[in-house]
Amino acid sequence: MGEVTNRLAVDLCGIALDNPVIPASGTFGYGREFAEVYDINILGTFSFKGTTKDPRLGNLTPRIAETPCGMLNAVGLQNPGVDKVIEEELPNLAKIFHKPVMANVSGFSVDDYVYTCEKLDQQPQVGWLEVNISCPNVHGGGMSFGTDPAAAAEVTRAVKAVTAKPVIVKLSPNVTDIVSIAKACEDAGADGISLINTLLGMRIDLKTRRPILANTTGGLSGPAVFPVALRMVYQVAHAVSVPVVGMGGVTTAEDVLEMMMAGAAAVEVGAANLVDPFACKKIIEDLPAAMDKYGISTLSELKG
């Protein structure tokens, strides 16, 4: 087994991973449900549910709509709040997952991000802080932090000032020039960049003539977004010198290889987990054969 683990090993911001496969935030909860069906310690790591300063009930239902080759979601960051996560979820997680976990953080003001990141940075189980800047900036007129390079840099700088662990900034694809935002985050001290978050979309119910989602619009994920995600990962990985975590429609071991060839240091798998709870396990198990097929001896040689 040692040799196999070695072939798949990668490094993310100075922390060794047994493999590059990481369930994406919001598709894996805090690990408990998946730990009931397989040993989640086979994962490289996972990014836990988007956590905010205060508890959130999320958006009204319906929150999910199906689309060809994907799905729309407008869950609205439902979570128990950072204090509850630290008191309840992390101790439970320690029993089932024995590797550093990626803490995904969301906020609606710079102060929100600072508060939540500072608290999670102090938790021994947390290896990386994945800072989702796709949230609406309540003090900035509701425009997302991730659509403006200056706002993205401001969040990055503020979080870096209160944390010691690697900060990976998660970017929204709903922008004209994702490279300028990635560079602004890197210049402000980001240790890594992860992308893409979901693409904005909507569906209409022909019978009621109303949007299917209570929120009107939602985030499109699934295989439909893979080519867009790959293009953005490629652009960003070639423009910044920090590691890039690629995600967006990844469903197979081949998709992981493609993302890594585009420049990703590690790869997150999102919607696929909702379709098949064993998706990440299967991808990890399929990687050695896929590597053999394409003449890849180790994943670490692939980068870009």
| 209 three-class SS | coil
Written as one letter, the residue type at 238 is H
pLDDT score for 197: 95
Average pLDDT, the chain: 95
pLDDT at 304: 60
Q: How confident is the model at residue 4 (pLDDT cuts 50, 70, 90)?
A: very low
User: And the tokens for 280?
Assistant: 């990440």
Query: What tokens were used for 1?
Result: 């087994």
Does the structure show a pLDDT above 80 at 245? yes
- pLDDT of res. 206: 98
Bridge partners for 168 per DSSP: 130, 192
Identity of the amino acid at 290: A
Each residue's pLDDT tens digit, 193-219? 999 999 999 999 999 999 999 999 999
> Nearest 10 degrees: CA dihedral of 158, 52, 259, 68?
-140
Res. 1: pLDDT tops 70: no
Per the model's pLDDT, the better-predicted residue between 143 and 91 turns out to be 91
Determine the topology of domain 2-58+78-200+219-301 in CATH. TIM Barrel (3.20.20)
Q: Of 13, 69, 117, 135, which is the active-site residue? A: 135
pLDDT at 98 (0 to 100) = 97
pLDDT tens track for 111-145: 999 999 999 999 999 999 999 998 878 888 878 99
**Global pTM?**
0.96
The CB-side HSE value for 1 (13 A sphere, CA atoms) comes to 4
User: Residue 16's closest CA among 253, 282, 266?
Assistant: 266
pLDDT for res 45: 98
In this prediction, residue 5 carries a pLDDT of 47
Residues 6+ away with beta carbon under 8 Å from 3: none
Taking phi first (over 0 means left), then psi (-120 to 50 degrees means alpha), and beta for anything else, what does residue 261 get?
Answer: alpha
User: How far is 111 from 49, CA to CA, in rounded Å?
Assistant: 20
The domain locations on the chain are 2-58+78-200+219-301
Q: Is 303's pLDDT higher than 80?
A: no
Tens digit of each residue's pLDDT (9 = 90 or more) over 143-188: 899 999 999 999 999 999 999 999 999 999 999 999 999 999 999 9
Tell me how crowded residue 143 is: count the other CB atoms within 10 A of its CB.
11
Q: Which helix (H) or strand (E) holds 129?
A: strand 126-132
Residue 280: CA count within 13 A, CB half-sphere: 31
- Is 135 considered catalytic here? yes
